[in-house]
């Protein structure tokens, strides 16, 4: 017997109606959605249970025991969606067989970061994200479930709205600075980020999903009332130097005199080299190199639609000053996402994302004109200003004789220009044609256009721009352009069908073709008539020109089938055949597969009587994935034509080549359990995984006497295993006060299983060109284990540095010390810990991130705490304490001597430190203005908030920042910023 | 198919070496290899100067070449490693040309010219390696460990050949190359020819201690008439192609290494870290025309040989072999057996450089006179350190403790382990067959 239930669904906090809520009968596919005013009507049978669910709210189940059921839905700040978008397809969350971490827009919105990867840190378990630089817009290094590959790319694959997108740097680089086109995406346009981790989830990207897949879904319109949002945000940031502190003028003066005295200089010499007069015009270079800056973000977006047409439109402007002077980023972006149901059979849609970035950089840490390095290379006893009050340009005799660098960055950073510009156009058009439910056809064409431009200008009056041999040829401009075009075509058949009432099937069959073409060009000119003219047209003499081009292509066929039995047992199987142009003749294709199953234990009859679990699901998956993120043309034996002699073209053997080169493969197993307790107030997901990577794409080091550095080969194997957990608890769920806690935990253990002839690889380099100096790849140990000479302290007799030799004795000759293994560069555990408190219209959240067990080298200390190795540079404050002064001293530092003490700064465990830290990543206080105030003004919502980023870091590390990329080596890292910002969001 | 793509900037090996013209282009690549900043583009000429006693590194410096000055290399020293790699890359380029040229179609005479050049360059590269990574020839009469000889591309882990084996190969390549180059144009200064091979043979024999052959080879060029000594002039090193040059590695103006070129190591503005030792300056007679290459900066002396080529500060085309060396090789080679001829050779140089000829030199002092002249003539051209090594001398510096320079040892004894370079750790890390030099650990 059936009857009709009606009612209204409202927001539990403010009572406003919620349109678009899914209301369905538990255990069936029957359902409806709420209308624009939140009302609904549904036909139910006896003993039915209604399930109310909507994105951003906690689902509710109610027995349909009344004719009118009004429902208040509570907000879900974690905002897990009902369907999980895995890129090509969407999966009902309860059918999910695989390990997918989801980060929702609530966690992304308004966080003043340039790169979405910065949001993932600690929010998604198993994802380790770290920056190599605090420069806004610089590259983030991301690893999912450990280091996935040694010489092929170890970064995840990025998919935006179903299409694989390019990442990385597209700027001609004259300064070893990093920029990442991912910074072009406005994080506020993102609805969800799904991190696909196990084989079943990534299998659809089989070929390239070995390092995990990050699926970004931009916001789409929803049927119901249309709305307009205004966002404005303004903030302040300042550099954070951690425990790293440089000497002031008096400290540097005293220390410098000590260095020369210990080096045996006479008092008269010392007074000549370090005269008292230096203290009169000393200068704080460190303070001068950094700035307190601003962050601004302004944005308008609108979304809405009806049954037929849905839209999301947005435009935004974001700017952020860097911590270093003359550095920062500006981003302009527009997004247009449209969907239209043409008729019963056809729907068509388009996503478009255009963005442009301007990045200012005052130079990377390896240039003397860079404030980053210069603030340290210039001693505080060196004045910045001439006696007449103007800045030294660096070319004056006084400066040339007394500085180490010949460059006053305070002058040169202002007149030199170093700009990166990135344009990105991401577009996608799709058309779906439905023959019947079990046969649908889709065609998608997507494009990813990237244009990068770099300009590096050295002013004629600076050390880098001045030409002593021909002053007329002073001034130097280098410009470079890079263009990349990727077109992706996807043609698919898909559908679903049932066999009887208990067997449900859906399937997907697809062909995907994706060619990429890349072009680069650069030119240099010298001889500029004025420092204000900064275009190549004005160069009076051309210098070198360069240009390059490359192609790579992927061709793939894939199929997937999902089977559901009795709504309790789910099975997914997929297979994919991929071809890549990067591999050798006859080695281009690889086949990858996966199988996954899940079991909703909670729905079994034997669970009906228990009261402990509100939800219980087991997931199991196994499958293979591949990796082709490797250099182009590596299979070929090549001669390169990029050299010349005597004005004539020349060629050189550039690559040994390996025609047998093929896919790197991984086999992945995952066991997961999803649980809910205490009326679903406590939920937990735990995943165990084991991943074995083999046929690894490696650059096997060759003897340098061969004339080549390495050869590409499929060799060796490696494993990653670990545990990930997400626990969410709604601790207090009162009407006025709510408190929830979310914890993510990740632990990964990496181990090298085999290498070429099982030989160690020392000081390896990865696909991105990162050099892992001081580390080793050794069978049985984690990748990038430290391999160093062991510091044995200071000889009490004479203050010499000591290291251990192979037989356990000590030596003061570092060349005679032996190498040993120590810890690894990757963290052993990472943890994210978030608490959200809501009181009436106030929300306070505090998010901590912790990383434990990574060992890092403080490379800057090899310069700043160097026992006098660079006597005219500045020194870290710590260098001035606990050093050897007389026989018998048990000291931490050798006798400081101008010019250094017996290679005491050679790379050794002296500079190896525990890089564990806990950081308050985000602290937000928000307030929603009461709805009743806004009703008259026809405003739906106004939210004001204040938030802080990186306000607190707890660490024992002595350098600037222990959050390092995976090389684990800090060398004058561009410091991350602490920031506080204020914002308002208005919804009309 | 759709997945067949080819690179835009490279050719596959077979195509790149498949015709005579392509092999000729690859030969240019061998010369390009010599231009590496790690090799003759800068480091080989700066490191070996700084290793010796002609120069010092200023107290205020940009942190370059300190380990070379102090002879305190660690086995990971970047300069030591990059030199090793750059020279072996050059050797590979030469090897590929030598192998390929025999297989392509073409005029035999033209093919001989290509092969001859590659052989001479390969010899020079092996010689340059063995001089710095192995003990001097006399310290073991060649039986001590040299460097691996690489005559073809191989993916192997070679052991070190003995010093004698390396010298024998160098001499073989030079004599074979010279035969093939007998028709090469001697007026082309920018490529090696038969005269270059002869000059290098003279240099190699002298370094080996085979003075008889050194005298024979150097005499061929002194009397040959293809070259002449030129008076010193401020721009001599800024303009390539003079009559005195036998082989010059030509850099065209726009391929300077910018602020990283040779001259910028000496010049201010520029890094200007390397200054001229007062000891060297004091050996100059006021009439010496070569004083034009020395400038003054406050109380210090600076090198002005490489002020800039084509308007590029510090750029130069290294004159790797020039006639003056032949006189001094000849003089040194006969200094004990025929002091009178040695004196004549020496006076050829002296009179050309504005000095009075020496009238008498005691036979016992003859060698020292030649070495002193060589020091002045080839200062900053990478000769002095090898003059000392060859003659069993260590490095003795007379400026120790001066507040102008960084602290460094005053003397490095002839038998000191750190007189020569370590085998780079990068080679040790990969190659189990390689043996480290004594004193640099395992």
Give yes or no for a contact between B173 and B119, defined as CB atoms under 8 angstroms apart: yes
CB distance from A705 to chain B under 8 Å? yes
Contacts of A636 in chain B (CB under 8 A): 7, 10, 12
Q: Which residue of B has its CA nearest to A634?
A: B7
The closest CB to that of A652, out of B72, B93, B312, belongs to B93
The closest CB to that of A273, out of B6, B403, B408, belongs to B403
Distance CA A587, CA A719 (A): 24
Cis peptide preceding B269, ω within 30 of 0: yes
Q: Which residue of A has its CA nearest to B313?
A: A469
- Return the percent helix, strand and coil in chain B, to nearest 5: 45, 10, 45
Number of domains into which chain B is organized? 1
Phi/psi region, residue A919 (left: phi>0; alpha: psi -120 to 50; beta: rest), is: beta
The CATH topology of domain A106-240+291-362+416-784+825-862+912-987 is Maltoporin; Chain A (2.40.170)
Q: Which residue of B has its CA nearest to A377?
A: B62
Strands A569-580 and A589-600: antiparallel
How long a stretch of residues is chain B? 442
Distance CA B2, CA A578 (A): 12
Which residues pair with residue A506 across a beta bridge? Answer: A496, A562
Closest-CA residue to B292 (of B300, B278, B302):
B302
Contacts of A763 in chain B (CB under 8 A): 426, 429
The closest CB to that of A815, out of B9, B401, B441, belongs to B441
User: Which parts of chain B have pLDDT scores under 70?
Assistant: 256-259
Q: Taking CB atoms and an 8 Å limit, are B313 and A467 in contact across chains?
A: yes
Query: Is A187 strand, coil or helix?
Result: helix
Distance CA A650, CA B27 (A): 7
Contacts of A544 in chain B (CB under 8 A): 254-255
Q: Tell me how close the Cα of B419 comes to any Cα of chain A, in angstroms.
A: 15
Q: Tell me how close the Cα of B182 comes to any Cα of chain A, in angstroms.
A: 22
The closest CB to that of A548, out of B2, B9, B70, belongs to B9
Give yes or no for a contact between A746 and A830, defined as CB atoms under 8 angstroms apart: yes
Q: Taking CB atoms and an 8 Å limit, are B28 and A706 in contact across chains?
A: no
The CATH topology of domain A2-76 is Immunoglobulin-like (2.60.40)
Q: Taking CB atoms and an 8 Å limit, are B32 and A550 in contact across chains?
A: no
The closest CB to that of B154, out of A632, A657, A706, belongs to A706
CB distance from A400 to chain B under 8 Å? yes
Q: Is residue B7 part of a domain?
A: no
Distance CA B224, CA B202 (A): 14
Distance CA A196, CA A192 (A): 12
Distance CA A944, CA A921 (A): 20
Distance CA B416, CA B410 (A): 13
The tokens of A318 are what? 């974001």
Distance CA A969, CA A859 (A): 6
CB distance from A864 to chain B under 8 Å? no
Phi/psi region, residue B380 (left: phi>0; alpha: psi -120 to 50; beta: rest), is: left
Q: Which residue of B has its CA nearest to A462?
A: B269
**Per-residue pLDDT at A364:** 59
- Strands (DSSP E) contained in A588-716 are 589-600, 613-627, 638-645, 648-655, 664-677, 682-694, 697-701, 710-714
Give yes or no for a contact between A985 and A942, defined as CB atoms under 8 angstroms apart: yes
| Strand order across the A969-970 sheet | A912-914, A855-858, A969-970
Give yes or no for a contact between A720 and A696, defined as CB atoms under 8 angstroms apart: no
Among B1, B4, B16, most A C-beta atoms within 10 A, so best to mutate, is: B16
Q: Taking CB atoms and an 8 Å limit, are A548 and B311 in contact across chains?
A: no
Q: Tell me how close the Cα of B13 comes to any Cα of chain A, in angstroms.
A: 5
Q: Taking CB atoms and an 8 Å limit, are A652 and B29 in contact across chains?
A: yes
CB distance from A269 to chain B under 8 Å? yes
The closest CB to that of B269, out of A466, A550, A759, belongs to A466
What residues have CB less than 8 Å from A261, skipping those under 6 apart? A267, A270
Contacts of A906 in chain B (CB under 8 A): 74, 76
CB distance from A401 to chain B under 8 Å? yes
pLDDT, tens digit (0-9, with 9 covering 90-100), for A84-142: 666 666 777 777 777 778 888 777 777 777 777 777 887 888 888 777 777 777 777 78
User: Which parts of chain A have pLDDT scores under 70?
Assistant: 1, 29, 55-56, 76-89, 173-179, 206-207, 363-367, 768
Q: Taking CB atoms and an 8 Å limit, are B157 and A703 in contact across chains?
A: yes
The closest CB to that of A645, out of B28, B70, B84, belongs to B28
Contacts of A555 in chain B (CB under 8 A): 2-3
Q: Taking CB atoms and an 8 Å limit, are A269 and B96 in contact across chains?
A: no
The ipTM is 0.94
Q: Taking CB atoms and an 8 Å limit, are B28 and A649 in contact across chains?
A: yes
Distance CA A59, CA A82 (A): 9
**Per-residue pLDDT at A778:** 96
Query: Is B405 strand, coil or helix?
Result: strand
Q: Tell me, what CATH number does B90's domain have?
A: 1.25.40.390
Query: Is B248 strand, coil or helix?
Result: strand
- For chain B, the maximum distance between any two Cα atoms, rounded to a whole number of angstroms, is 82
The closest CB to that of A703, out of B7, B158, B271, belongs to B158
Closest-CA residue to A762 (of A785, A782, A781):
A785
* Contacting A residues, span 619-658, partner chain B, CB-CB under 8 Å: 632-633, 636-657
- B24, with CB counted inside 10 A (0-12, 13-18, 19+), is buried
> Cβ–Cβ contacts within 10 Å for residue B364, how many?
10
Q: Taking CB atoms and an 8 Å limit, are A872 and B59 in contact across chains?
A: yes
Q: Taking CB atoms and an 8 Å limit, are A899 and B2 in contact across chains?
A: no
- Strands (DSSP E) contained in A734-766 are 737-754, 761-762
Q: Which long-range contacts (CB under 8 A, 24 or more apart) does A797-803 make?
A: A797/A887, A797/A888, A798/A887, A798/A895, A799/A883, A799/A884, A799/A885, A799/A889, A799/A891, A799/A894, A799/A895, A799/A901, A800/A894, A800/A895, A800/A901, A800/A902, A801/A867, A801/A894, A801/A901, A801/A902, A801/A903, A801/A904, A801/A910, A803/A908
Distance CA A709, CA A701 (A): 6
Distance CA A808, CA A810 (A): 7
Which residues pair with residue A60 across a beta bridge? Answer: A52
Q: Which residue of B has its CA nearest to A704?
A: B85
What residues have CB less than 8 Å from A500, skipping those under 6 apart? none
Distance CA A862, CA A900 (A): 11
Q: Which residue of A has its CA nearest to B264?
A: A468
Distance CA B327, CA B369 (A): 13
The residues spanned by each domain of chain A are 2-76, 106-240+291-362+416-784+825-862+912-987
- A134, with CB counted inside 10 A (0-12, 13-18, 19+), is buried
- Strands (DSSP E) contained in A180-323 are 190-196, 213-218, 224-239, 293-305, 309-321
Contacts of B15 in chain A (CB under 8 A): 639
What residues have CB less than 8 Å from B414, skipping those under 6 apart? B139, B392, B393, B394
What residues have CB less than 8 Å from B85, skipping those under 6 apart? A704, A709, B38, B424, B426
CA distances from A457 to A136, A454, A522, A535, A539 (A): 20, 10, 13, 9, 11
Q: Taking CB atoms and an 8 Å limit, are B269 and A463 in contact across chains?
A: yes
Closest-CA residue to A463 (of B77, B250, B62, B35):
B62
**Per-residue pLDDT at B91:** 98
Give yes or no for a contact between A198 and A98, defined as CB atoms under 8 angstroms apart: yes
| DSSP annotation string for B320-358 | EEEHHHHHHHHHHHTTTT-HHHHHHHHHHHHHHTTPPPP
| DSSP annotation string for A898-921 | TT-STTTTSSBGGGEEE--EEEEE
Give yes or no for a contact between A651 and A641, defined as CB atoms under 8 angstroms apart: yes
CB distance from A936 to chain B under 8 Å? no
Contacts A–B by Cβ distance under 8 A: 256
Q: Tell me how close the Cα of A777 comes to any Cα of chain B, in angstroms.
A: 12
Q: Taking CB atoms and an 8 Å limit, are A641 and B11 in contact across chains?
A: yes
Distance CA A456, CA A260 (A): 39
Q: What is the gyration radius of the CA atoms in chain B, in angstroms?
A: 22
CA distances from B174 to B1, B118, B121, B147 (A): 49, 10, 9, 18
Domain span including residue B26 = 17-227+322-430
Q: Tell me how close the Cα of A280 comes to any Cα of chain B, in angstroms.
A: 20
Distance CA B151, CA B166 (A): 11
Q: Tell me how close the Cα of B393 comes to any Cα of chain A, in angstroms.
A: 24
């Amino acid at each position: 017997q059936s009857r009709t239930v009606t009612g209204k669904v409202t927001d539990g906090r403010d009572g406003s109606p919620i349109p678009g809520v899914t209301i369905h009968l538990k255990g069936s596919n029957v359902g409806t959605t709420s209308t624009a005013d939140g009302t609904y009507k549904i036909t139910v049978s006896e003993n039915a249970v209604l399930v109310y669910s909507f994105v951003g709210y906690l689902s509710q189940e109610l027995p349909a025991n009344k004719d009118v059921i009004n429902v208040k839905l509570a907000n879900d700040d974690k905002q897990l969606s009902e369907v999980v978008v895995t890129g090509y397809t969407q999966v009902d969350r309860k059918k999910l067989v695989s390990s997918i971490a989801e980060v929702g827009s609530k966690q992304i919105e308004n966080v003043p970061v340039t790169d979405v990867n910065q949001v993932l840190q600690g929010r998604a378990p198993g994802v380790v994200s770290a920056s190599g630089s605090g420069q806004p817009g610089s590259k983030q290094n991301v690893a999912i479930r450990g280091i996935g590959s040694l010489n092929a790319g170890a970064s995840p694959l990025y998919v935006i709205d179903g299409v694989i997108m390019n990442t990385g740097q597209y700027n001609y680089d004259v300064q070893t600075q990093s920029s990442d086109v991912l910074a072009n995406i406005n994080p506020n346009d993102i609805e969800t980020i799904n991190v696909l981790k196990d084989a079943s989830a990534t299998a659809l990207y089989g070929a390239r999903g070995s390092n995990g897949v990050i699926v970004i879904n931009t916001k789409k319109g929803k049927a119901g009332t249309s709305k307009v949002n205004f966002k404005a945000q303004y903030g302040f940031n300042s550099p954070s130097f951690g425990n790293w502190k440089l000497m002031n003028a008096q400290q540097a003066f005293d220390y410098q005199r000590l260095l020369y005295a210990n080096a045996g200089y006479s008092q008269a010499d010392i007074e000549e080299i370090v005269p008292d007069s230096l203290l009169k015009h000393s200068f704080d270079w460190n303070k001068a190199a950094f700035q307190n800056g601003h962050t601004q973000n302004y944005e308008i977006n609108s979304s809405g639609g009806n049954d037929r047409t849905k839209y999301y439109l947005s435009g935004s402007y974001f700017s952020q000053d860097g911590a270093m002077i003359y550095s920062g980023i500006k981003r302009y972006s527009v997004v247009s996402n449209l969907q239209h149901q043409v008729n019963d059979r056809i729907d068509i849609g388009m996503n478009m994302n255009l963005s442009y970035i301007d990045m200012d950089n005052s130079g990377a840490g390896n240039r003397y004109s860079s404030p980053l390095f210069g603030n340290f290379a210039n001693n505080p006893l060196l004045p910045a200003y001439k006696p007449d009050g103007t800045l030294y340009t660096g070319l004056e005799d006084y400066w040339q004789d007394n500085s180490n660098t010949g460059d006053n960055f305070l002058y040169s950073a202002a007149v030199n220009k170093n700009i990166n510009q990135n344009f990105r156009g991401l577009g996608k058009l799709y058309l779906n044609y439905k023959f019947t439910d079990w046969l649908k056809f889709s065609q998608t064409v997507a494009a990813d256009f990237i244009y990068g431009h770099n300009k590096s200008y050295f002013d004629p009056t600076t050390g880098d721009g001045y030409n002593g041999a021909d002053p007329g040829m002073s001034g130097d401009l280098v410009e470079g352009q890079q263009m990349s075009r990727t077109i992706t075509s996807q043609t698919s058949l898909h559908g679903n069908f049932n066999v009887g009432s208990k067997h449900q099937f859906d399937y997907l069959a697809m062909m995907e073709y994706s060619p990429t073409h890349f072009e680069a060009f650069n030119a240099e000119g010298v001889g500029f008539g004025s420092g204000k003219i900064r275009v190549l047209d004005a160069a009076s003499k051309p210098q070198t020109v360069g240009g390059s081009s490359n192609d790579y292509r992927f061709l793939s066929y894939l199929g997937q089938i999902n089977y559901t039995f009795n709504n309790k047992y789910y099975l997914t199987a997929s297979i994919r055949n991929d071809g890549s142009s990067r591999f050798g003749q006859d080695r281009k294709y690889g086949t990858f597969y996966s199988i996954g199953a899940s079991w909703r234990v909670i729905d079994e009859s034997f669970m009906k009587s228990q009261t402990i679990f509100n939800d219980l699901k087991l997931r199991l998956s196994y499958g293979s994935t591949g990796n082709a993120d490797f250099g182009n043309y590596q299979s070929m034996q090549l001669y390169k034509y990029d050299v010349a002699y005597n004005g004539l073209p020349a060629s050189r053997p550039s690559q040994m080549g390996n025609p047998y080169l093929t896919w790197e493969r991984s086999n992945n197993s995952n066991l997961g359990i999803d649980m809910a307790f205490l009326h679903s107030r406590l939920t937990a997901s735990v995943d165990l995984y084991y991943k074995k990577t083999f046929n690894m794409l490696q650059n096997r080091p060759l003897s340098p006497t061969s004339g080549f550095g390495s050869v590409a080969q499929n060799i060796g194997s490696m494993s990653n295993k670990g545990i990930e957990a997400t626990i969410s608890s709604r601790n207090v769920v009162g009407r006025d006060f709510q408190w929830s806690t979310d914890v993510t935990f990740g632990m990964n253990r990496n181990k090298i299983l085999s290498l070429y002839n099982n030989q160690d690889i020392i000081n390896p380099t990865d696909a991105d060109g990162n050099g892992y100096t001081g580390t080793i790849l050794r069978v049985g140990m984690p990748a990038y284990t430290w391999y160093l000479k062991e510091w044995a302290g200071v000889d009490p007799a004479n203050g010499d540095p000591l290291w251990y030799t192979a037989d356990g004795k000590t030596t003061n000759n570092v060349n005679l010390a032996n190498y040993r293994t120590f810890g690894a560069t990757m963290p052993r555990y990472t943890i994210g810990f978030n608490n959200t408190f809501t009181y009436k219209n106030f929300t306070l959240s505090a998010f901590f991130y912790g990383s434990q067990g990574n060992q890092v080298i403080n490379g800057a200390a090899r310069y700043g705490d160097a026992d006098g190795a660079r006597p005219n540079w500045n020194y870290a404050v710590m260098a001035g304490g606990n050093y050897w002064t007389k026989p018998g001293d048990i000291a931490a530092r050798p006798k400081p001597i101008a010019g250094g003490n017996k290679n005491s700064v050679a790379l050794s465990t002296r500079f190896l430190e525990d890089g564990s830290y806990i950081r308050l990543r985000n602290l937000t206080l928000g307030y929603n203005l009461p709805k009743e105030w806004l009703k008259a003004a026809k405003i739906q919502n106004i939210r004001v908030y204040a938030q802080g980023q990186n306000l607190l870091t707890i660490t024992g590390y002595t350098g600037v920042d222990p959050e390092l990329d995976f090389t684990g080596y800090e060398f004058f890292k561009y410091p991350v910023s602490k920031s506080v910002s204020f914002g308002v969001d208005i919804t009309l | 198919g759709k997945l067949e793509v080819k690179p835009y900037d490279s050719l596959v090996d077979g195509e790149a070496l498949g015709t005579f013209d392509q092999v000729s282009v690859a030969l240019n690549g061998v010369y390009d290899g010599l231009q590496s900043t790690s090799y003759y583009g800068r480091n080989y000429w700066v490191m070996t100067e700084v290793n010796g006693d002609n120069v010092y590194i200023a107290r205020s410096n940009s942190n370059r070449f300190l380990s070379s000055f102090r002879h305190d290399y660690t086995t990971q020293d970047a300069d030591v490693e990059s030199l090793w790699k750059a020279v072996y890359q050059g050797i590979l380029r030469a090897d590929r040309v030598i192998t390929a040229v025999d297989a392509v179609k073409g005029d035999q005479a033209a093919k001989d010219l290509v092969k001859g050049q590659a052989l001479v360059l390969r010899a020079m590269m092996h010689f340059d390696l063995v001089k710095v990574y192995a003990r001097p020839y006399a310290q073991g009469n060649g039986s001590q460990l040299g460097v691996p000889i690489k005559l073809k591309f191989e993916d192997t882990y070679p052991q070190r050949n003995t010093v004698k084996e390396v010298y024998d190969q160098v001499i073989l390549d030079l004599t074979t190359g010279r035969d093939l180059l007998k028709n090469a144009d001697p007026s082309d200064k920018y490529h090696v020819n038969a005269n270059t091979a002869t000059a290098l043979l003279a240099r190699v024999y002298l370094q080996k201690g085979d003075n008889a052959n050194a005298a024979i080879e150097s005499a061929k060029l002194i009397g040959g008439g293809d070259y002449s000594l030129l008076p010193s002039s401020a721009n001599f090193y800024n303009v390539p192609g003079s009559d005195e040059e036998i082989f010059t590695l030509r850099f065209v103006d726009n391929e300077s290494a910018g602020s990283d070129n040779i001259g910028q190591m000496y010049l201010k503005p520029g890094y200007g870290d390397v200054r001229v030792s007062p000891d060297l300056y004091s050996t100059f007679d006021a009439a010496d025309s070569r004083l034009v290459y020395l400038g003054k900066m406050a109380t210090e002396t600076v090198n002005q040989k490489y002020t800039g080529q084509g308007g590029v500060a510090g750029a130069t085309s290294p004159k790797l072999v020039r006639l003056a060396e032949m006189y001094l090789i000849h003089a040194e080679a006969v200094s004990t057996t025929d002091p009178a001829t040695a004196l004549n050779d020496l006076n050829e140089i002296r009179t050309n450089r504005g000095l009075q000829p020496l009238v008498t030199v005691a036979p016992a002092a003859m060698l020292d006179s030649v070495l002193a002249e060589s020091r002045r003539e080839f200062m900053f051209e990478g000769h002095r350190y090898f003059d000392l090594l060859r003659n069993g001398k260590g490095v003795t510096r007379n400026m120790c403790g001066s507040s102008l320079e960084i602290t460094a040892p005053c003397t490095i004894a002839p038998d000191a382990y750190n007189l020569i370079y370590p085998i780079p750790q990068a080679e040790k890390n990969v190659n189990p067959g390689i043996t480290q030099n004594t004193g640099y650990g395992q």
